[in-house]
Amino acid sequence: MSAYVPGPVMVAAGCGGTGRELEPFSGPDGLAGLDFVTRSLTLDPRAGGAGPRLVEVPGGLVNAVGLPNPGLEHFLATELPWLVRAGARVLVSIAGATMGEYADLARRLSRAPGVAGLEVNVGAPDEVGAGLFEVREPYHAASVIAAVRREFPSDRPVLAKLRPDVSRIVEGARSCHEAGATAVVVGNAVPAAFPDGRAGGLSGPAVGPVALRCVAEVHRSLPAMPVIACGGVRDLASARTYLAAGATAVQVGTALLHDPTTVARLRADLAADPQEDA
């Protein structure tokens, strides 16, 4: 298995649209050379949850979008070719209701030109990923990763995206690594509630300290495994904090909804002042 060298700044799943929306805000080179994680794809089109799906709260966003996407065939026919032409390094986020669906997605994407790797969504809060395979224990996530890894070329990365559960994050990361994950992405939205009491997932700066703890714990316990940080990355200081804690790269998500130039600015800032990079 070849080493995976990401980023150091990546677009988090679901936050860069199809790429077309982000491209005008991505600097003079556009998406060229950028690690772009797509929204989570399922085999069949998925409408997502009922509205309202998103609400701003102090320190972040609560969402229950339900992972809407056009399905694999539409993505392969329209979105992937555009991203490849734009020069992005495309990592396709996948989600399924069964391990068989995850495996089928991996098998079909392995044959698609331009797919640089996969990010396996095994950490969405249940209310965000309703109807998908339930990941209750680390061995559930590991089983999914193993099914995907069997169907995807060993020389391309498979990233395991885990929720930032401090009590289980090291166990989950170790299990996924042993199952064949190239790296782990820590973390995902954390279980939360809308003001009216409906269940959702919280993302943004408010989850940063929790995700940071998880990144540090994984790096301390599994120093050879790449850890990609995701949770409240919005500026150079927040990115540096994660890199200093052992992250190999950072993903920018919620911040793009406020300022779509965030990724371009971070890439430029880190390139201009790289002395503290991990």
pLDDT tens for each residue of 83-95: 999 999 999 999 9
Positive or negative, the CA dihedral 121, 112, 87, 43 is negative
pLDDT reported for residue 278: 44
Look at the block and give the residue holding tokens 């790269």: 249
pLDDT given at position 52? 86
- Can you give the chain as a three-state secondary structure string? CCCCCCCCEEECCCCCCCCCCCHHHCCCCCCCCCEEECCCECCCCECCCCCCCEEEECCEEEECCCCCECCHHHHHHHHHHHHHHCCCEEEEEECCCCHHHHHHHHHHHHCCCCEEEEEEECCCCCCCCCCCCCCCCHHHHHHHHHHHHHHCCCCCCEEEEECCCCCCHHHHHHHHHHCCCCEEEECCCEEEECCCCCEEEEECHHHHHHHHHHHHHHHHHCCCCCEEEECCCCCHHHHHHHHHCCCCEEEECCHHHHCCCHHHHHHHHHHHCCCCCC
List, in sequence order, every residue forming a beta bridge with 118; answer none if it has no partner.
Answer: 92, 158
Q: What is the pLDDT of residue 3?
A: 67
Residue 72: other Cβ atoms inside 10 A: 22
Residue with tokens 């999914």: 144
Q: What is the pLDDT along the chain (278 residues), one digit of tens a residue?
A: 556 778 899 999 999 999 999 999 999 999 999 999 999 999 999 998 888 899 999 999 999 999 999 999 999 999 999 999 999 999 999 999 999 999 999 999 999 999 999 999 998 876 666 778 888 788 999 999 999 999 999 999 999 999 999 999 999 999 999 999 999 999 889 999 999 999 899 999 999 999 999 999 999 999 999 999 999 999 999 999 999 999 999 999 999 999 999 999 999 999 997 665 44
